[in-house]
Homo-oligomer: A and B are copies of this chain.
Amino acid sequence: MKDKEELMVEKETARIEAFSDGVFAIAMTLLVLELRVPELGEAVVPSVLAAKLMAQWPVYIAFVISFFSIFIMWVNHHKLFKQIYRRNTGIMFANGLILFLVCCVSYPSSLLAGFYDTDSQQLVISIYTGMFVLVNLSYNLLWFLACRDRKLLRPGLTEAAILGIRNNYLYGLPTYIAAFILSFYFPVSALLICVLLWIYWAISSKKVLINR
């Protein structure tokens, strides 16, 4: 009977994971709609088309950055939910908040792509980095709520692993806030910090997997 119970527990978060995966997958895929085919007459010279395509470089960069930022969010979501076996209302809505922000990402990303090359560069970078402060807060909230009631977590999870995960996300917060503040003065550097943070996260994810 215990075994079956365990199986039921597993199932409790399985549907949340599957649903969340759907949202992550769609949010990532919808980003491609930002890449627009230039509207040109039929007699277009190839060199003009090539020039038009190249002039869209901020759109391409924003696409790549946003795709992989959502992807890394998914990897982290995946990792957190490997440790969460049961759910309560708090978990449901903290996860809802994460999904909401995942859906939003494409909008600041579009703004960034559309206005990076204009006088409004600083404004759109501030919005973009501000967005990721919220994303980080939502992940911290999810883990905070999951840790408050240890019955929600995977049975064998050690205290050290719980703290390790908490720190991994908590340490991101000041960096994101710093990037947000910096964005008002040195917007491009602020953006760079975010990208570096994602690369660090991608590599550090290895460590967390071993800690497991």
Contacts and interface: CB of A to CB of B under 8 A. Distances in A.
Interface in A84-143: 88-89, 92-93, 96, 99-100, 103-104, 106-107, 110-111, 114-115, 117-120, 122-124
Number of copies of chain A assembled together: 4
A78 interface: yes
B31 A103 contact: yes
Contact of A28 (B23, B44, B115): B23
A197 interface: no
A154 to B, nearest CB: 10
B23 A23 contact: no
A123 B120 CA distance: 33
Contact of A46 (B30, B92, B119): B119
A163 interface: no
A100 to B, nearest CB: 5
Interface string A61-89: 00010011001001100100000000011
